[in-house]
Amino acid sequence: METISVFDIFKIGVGPSSSHTLGPWRAAQRFLNDCRTLNCFDRIARLQVDLYGSLSKTGRGHGTDTAVILGLMGEDPVTCDTARISAKIQTVADSETLLLDGVQKIVFNPSAALRFNHHITLPFHPNGLKFTAVLDDGRTHEAIYYSIGGGFVVQEDQPPDSRASVPVPMPIQNAADLLAHCQTHNYTIPQVVWANELSWRAADAITADLGRIWSAMKDCAFRGCYGEGTLPGGLKVVRRAAQMNRKLLKGAVFPDADAWINAIQDQDLHFQNVIQWVSCFALAINEENAAFGRVVTAPTNGAAGVIPAVLLHYVCFCLSSEQGVRDFLLTAGEIGSIFKKGATISAAMGGCQAEIGVSSAMAAAGLTQCLGGSVGQVLMAAEIAMEHHLGLTCDPVGGLVQIPCIERNTMGAVKAITAASIALASDPAHARVPLDSVIQTMWHTALDMNTKYKETSEGGLALQIPVNLSEC
């Protein structure tokens, strides 16, 4: 049984894509670590990187080439200076050299060393990439990795990294397992998740890490609400969150995210105001994501705005608490892991239902938990949210995580709030569709979906707004 931590679902990283940016970045780091293990790192004279499938077709727009270079340079997505990313990449291009893992200079011409194999898709997953190190004696070492969504990476012919070696008291493969544990122990969902997390880290560490995730989310929203200008990539998409924030706060500026949130909480609450704020939160985060800013993968970067927007809705407009925030994240994280186990969180495998749909289900569950919902109502909220995202395609214009991705986060957030509202007013005993059934339906829909609607920019809206991909 696959075991996934909440902190596997929620990762701090850099935009614009968890599968096309964060995953390849981590793959590059793993390849270098592998070379060190094999005692061939110091003998690397040249590197070749091949991108396949969706990584190739939308890799330039998603920043896959940038991510690979940064990973090879030893930069880390959690700590790197995002303001200097463009300058670092330009330096490599201009000098045609790269400081491997920050210590060893090699010749590296990005235009030749990074190959986009548009017409080749590797069999295991659409997001495949191969690293080939040419050593000083002419021998080579190569490895193939797959970025399987949400920043998760697996290596070909290697067992996946798993926490299963450390047993958890309440193993969960699907929603039925989760419900059974809650009923057996008279636990809430976050109590079950907390008990499992204690298998891997101490209680103080869990609390601290949840706080770190929440701080990264609200800081990202705050930065996005004061970020002006045009997004990179060639589509010339103008950022809108700052204008909305300025209008809603009448031009007020605040020193940090907490002061900003306090000001929002002091506003009059009416429906239109709340909806505008939820949309503003989601836009702000995904504009930051599109600009190579630091975001929390939740469960992906393309859908990074949904969960923080709904969590900010809870903090700003509901009777919230610090424990409520933690319960939200624990609940949402477990729902995300169940979707990953039963279906996919990769748009290249399942379309945007696997990203916005899953994030909306996660957010709906988290909000329902915080607002006092029963276990059945929490699962019902997740089911409702996903049911109305089934079949959603992934068709990014120009291969960029901008159109329609940014606005889709606002839709996913609003649907999550609606789903929570419906679930809280309903009796789960009367529900006809269990969460596991909608997850299975989502997976079957993904299998039936035409490949051109799975993050290839070869169908849907991406064809209606033609863009020269080489310019993006």
Taking the C-alpha atoms of residue 153 and residue 169, their distance in angstroms, rounded to an integer, is: 26
* Predicted pLDDT of residue 244: 98
Per-residue pLDDT tens over the stretch 436-461: 999 999 999 999 999 999 999 999 99
Q: Is residue 169 part of a domain?
A: no
Same domain? For 373 and 243 the reply is yes
pLDDT value of residue 157: 81
Distances (CA, A) of 191 to 5, 207, 303: 14, 13, 26
Domain edge (last residue) among 121, 155, 189:
155
Q: Is the dihedral of CA 315, 374, 353, 211 positive or negative?
A: positive
Residue 168 lies in a domain: no
Last residue of a domain, one of 125, 155, 185: 155
Cis peptide before 16 (omega within 30 of 0): yes
Residue 186 in domain: yes
Percent of the chain with pLDDT over 90: 93
Residue 76 in any domain: the answer is yes
Same domain, 121 and 242: no
Q: Which domain holds residue 200?
A: 175-471
35: pLDDT strictly greater than 70:
yes
- pLDDT digit string (tens) for 295-333? 999 999 999 999 999 999 999 999 999 999 999 999 999
Residue 44 · residue 106 · CB < 8 Å: yes
If asked whether residues 141 and 254 sit together in one domain, one would say: no
Residues 437 and 304 in one domain: yes
CA dihedral 210, 215, 218, 220 (to 10 degrees): -110
pLDDT at 162: 55
pLDDT digits (tens, 9 = 90+) for 245-283: 999 999 999 999 999 999 999 998 899 999 999 999 999
What are the structure tokens assigned to 5, written together?
A: 């931590």
CA angle 369, 150, 60 (to 5 degrees): 140
Judge whether 150 and 295 are in contact, CB under 8 Å: no
Q: For residues 324 and 215, state if they share a domain.
A: yes
User: 470: pLDDT confidence band, cut at 50, 70 and 90?
Assistant: very low
Of 329, 314, 319, 380, the C-alpha closest to 359 is 329
| Separation CA 304–CA 311 (nearest Å) | 12
Residue 375 and residue 188 in contact, taking contact as beta carbons nearer than 8 Å? yes
The pLDDT of 21-46, averaged and rounded, is 96
Residues 124 and 44 in one domain: yes
Shared domain for 346 and 458, answered yes or no, is yes
How far apart CA 392 and CA 442 sit, in angstroms, is 10
CB 373 within 8 A of CB 424: yes
For the record, the structure tokens of 52 come out as 């396949």
Give, in order, the Cα–Cα distances in Å from 372 to each of 39, 226, 321, 369. Answer: 55, 33, 12, 5
Please provide residue 144's backbone torsions phi and psi, each rounded to the nearest 5 degrees.
-110, 135
Tens digit of pLDDT for each residue in 85-134? 999 999 999 999 999 999 999 999 999 999 999 899 999 999 999 999 99
Task: Please report whether residue 11 resides in a domain.
Answer: no
DSSP string, 235-299: S-PBP-HHHHHHHHTTT---SSHHHHHHHHHTS---HHHHHHHHHHHHHHHHHHHHTT-EEEESS
Whole-angstrom distance, CA of residue 304 vs CA of residue 324: 20
At 28, is the secondary structure helix, strand, or coil? helix
Q: Would you say the C-alpha torsion 385, 388, 402, 395 has a positive or negative sign? A: positive
Backbone phi, psi, residue 251, to 5°: 80, 0
Q: How far apart are CA 444 and CA 340, in angstroms?
A: 14
- What is the average pLDDT value for the chain, to the nearest integer? 95
What is the b/e burial string over 127-139, where b = at least 16 CB atoms within 10 angstroms of the residue's CB? bbbbbbbbbeeee
Helix axis angle, 306-317 relative to 322-342, nearest 10°? 160
Query: Contact, 237 vs 283, CB < 8 A?
Result: no
Instruction: Tell whether 141 and 211 lie within a shared domain.
Output: no
The CATH number assigned to the domain holding 85 equals 3.30.1330.90
C-alpha to C-alpha distance for 17 and 19, rounded to whole angstroms: 6
**Residue that is last in its domain, among 88, 120, 155:** 155
Q: What is the pLDDT of residue 469?
A: 46
Q: How many other β-carbons are positioned within 10 Å of the β-carbon of residue 229?
A: 10
Per the structure, how many domains does the chain have? 2
CATH number at residue 191: 1.10.4100
Residue 269 has what pLDDT? 86
**Statement to judge: residues 225 and 104 lie in one domain:** no
Classify 400 as helix, strand or coil.
Answer: coil
The answer to whether 307 and 366 have CB atoms below 8 angstroms apart is yes
Residue 6, domain member (yes or no): no
Q: Is residue 167 part of a domain?
A: no
Contact yes or no for 385/419 (Cβ under 8 A): yes
Confidence class for position 380, pLDDT limits 50, 70, 90: very high
Decide if 400 contacts 62 (C-beta within 8 A).
yes
Distance of alpha carbon 457 from alpha carbon 351, whole angstroms = 11
- Does residue 233 fall inside a structural domain? yes
51, two tokens: 């991108």
